[in-house]
Structure 1
Amino acid sequence: MSEKSVTITFGTTIDNDMLDLITGFNQLLLENPFSGLMTTVPAYTTLTVFYDPLMVMLSDLPGEVGFEKVSAYLNKIACTQRKKTNQVANELVIPVCYGGDFGPDLLTVAQANHLTETEVIDIHTDGHYTIFMIGFVPGFAYMGGMAGRLSTPRKEVPTAKIPAGSVGIAGNQTGIYPMETPGGWQIIGRTPLKMFDVNRTQPSLLKGGDRVTFKAIDQAEFNAYVETGI
């Protein structure tokens, strides 16, 4: 990828088996780091490994250049038994106030799928979602597991300002905007939870591998969450 990173491609499918494979390999690498390893970034079908080129070159890893040394190490551990993560996935319930000012595109999603707005809410809250990756902006969680009945294309013209906490749909994915930002997802609701806070030990409320369900709340409940400062 660059003089400071290598990207490993595990396949082309996006599913739970792929997530387990990448998570397991990532855990194995982090438990057995090479000299110079800085951080890793898991994605849908890839794992990018960032390293310090100088430390790698000073290491005794086989190879002439940094890429060869790191690649050789990654291939070596790939030949060992790839294990699935033994960490128990965090399960979170995300409260969402659907429709109205919080979900201006709820009707669009309903009409695109020949559903009522209530049916969209019921289907969305009935789902069980897996966080496959964090990207786009800090803390933005890409979730798999949404029912195909809710699949809706992105907007042709992105919205200039989408409020923090907005829950959106784009294609077969659903996600939550952790901060105010432009975006092209269809916004169906908003959560009062702080999805990203630099003052927390773990700034992002969600991380790869977490499991999420959504719970519908009304305006009064939304305000109550906000008042507690969660």
Structure 2
Amino acid sequence: MEYLILGDCAVSIEFGNEINPEINNKIKNFNDLIKASEIEGIIETVPSFKSLLVYYDPSKLYFNEVKEILSNLSKELDTKVNNKKRIIEIPVCYDEEFGVDLDFVSDYTNLSKDEIIKIHSSQEYLIYMLGFLPGFAYLGGMDKKLVTPRLTNPRVRLEAGAVGIGGEQTGIYPLASPGGWRIIGRTPVKPYDINRENPVLYRSGDYIKFTQINKKDFFKIKDLVNKESYNCNIIERSEGYWGL
């Protein structure tokens, strides 16, 4: 773990030079420990692919103090930390009305639409980090069979809930926005809703599992979402151990 100073109010803790689940899990565990410790002067933490950004109040703490506190705190982590896996199931309709790029993905990958849907909805995708838009999850774990290049010219507007493929990644557009990913479906749930107690549906370190639904179920769920009476299925289980 390397501590890098970022101005007078932030430190970046670097965990390695690779993007992989083991390093990301270490970041998640340390992030949880920092939050649970409620250290006076620590304002916010932001996990990413291979680092953890920690904001602090410079009127209460200096960089060297933050570094010492965090370094000592890291020693409290056992060499074996239970890896609790939290999986959020996201319903997706892959109908051609929503999956406007399914034909292109099919032609590019030499896979049928049914094969694309089956492969895409069979994985559990790790959320490495959130960014770009509120609730936009950078996911890892997509089958390489689905790798498809982004659009040369991004669309001016994609609907909220659009599910797409961009290179080696897949993800959900949480808000209506421009976007250059190949759209293969749409979810009726809201990954980001400012009116919720927790506006973002998931967090870094969680997993997303896409589940296929038809158009009838899409609009049924969408109606329930609008009435604030729909909750995504969440699965929690322990799988293996990772340490720092």
Which of 103, 109, 114 aligns to 1:107? It is 103
Percentage of matched positions with identical amino acids = 40
Matched, 1:146 2:142: yes
Q: Map residues 194-209 of structure 1 onto 2, 5 A cutoff.
A: 194-209=190-205
Q: Relative contact order (C-alpha < 8 Å, sep 6+): which is higher?
A: 2
Question: Does the 8 Å CA contact 1:120/1:150 hold for their aligned counterparts?
Answer: yes
Could you say which structure has the higher strand fraction?
A: 2
Name the residue aligned to 1:218: 214
TM-score (norm 2): 0.84
Matched, 1:187 2:183: yes
Name the residue aligned to 1:59: none
RMSD: 1.9
Instruction: Go from structure 1 to structure 2 and tell me whether the alpha carbon gap of 1:30 and 1:134 turns closer, same or farther (over 3 Å shift).
Output: same
TM-score (norm 1): 0.88
Q: CA deviation at 1:90?
A: 2.6
**Structure 1 consecutive aligned stretches of length 4 or more whose deviation exceeds 3 Å:** 78-89
Q: How many residue pairs end up in the alignment?
A: 221
SS at match of 1:91: strand
Question: Does the 8 Å CA contact 1:21/1:83 hold for their aligned counterparts?
Answer: no
Question: Does the 8 Å CA contact 1:125/1:214 hold for their aligned counterparts?
Answer: yes
Name the residue aligned to 1:96: 92
SS at match of 2:34: helix
Name the residue aligned to 2:120: 124
Q: CA deviation at 1:196?
A: 1.0
Aligned equivalents of 1:92, 1:132: Cα separation in 2 = 14
Unpaired runs of 5+ in structure 2? 1-5, 231-244
Question: Does the 8 Å CA contact 2:127/2:207 hold for their aligned counterparts?
Answer: yes
Q: Comparing 37-46 with 6-15, which one deviates more in the overlay?
A: 6-15
Matched, 1:31 2:36: yes
Question: Does the 8 Å CA contact 2:87/2:124 hold for their aligned counterparts?
Answer: no
SS at match of 1:126: coil
Instruction: Go from structure 1 to structure 2 and tell me whether the alpha carbon gap of 1:87 and 1:128 turns closer, same or farther (over 3 Å shift).
Output: closer
Aligned equivalents of 1:5, 1:157: Cα separation in 2 = 36
1:192 maps to amino acid = P
Q: CA deviation at 1:31?
A: 2.6
Unpaired runs of 5+ in structure 1? 57-65
Aligned equivalents of 1:84, 1:154: Cα separation in 2 = 40
Q: CA deviation at 1:10?
A: 0.7
Which of 138, 157, 167 aligns to 1:171? It is 167
Aligned equivalents of 1:195, 1:81: Cα separation in 2 = 31
1:118 maps to amino acid = D
SS at match of 2:96: coil
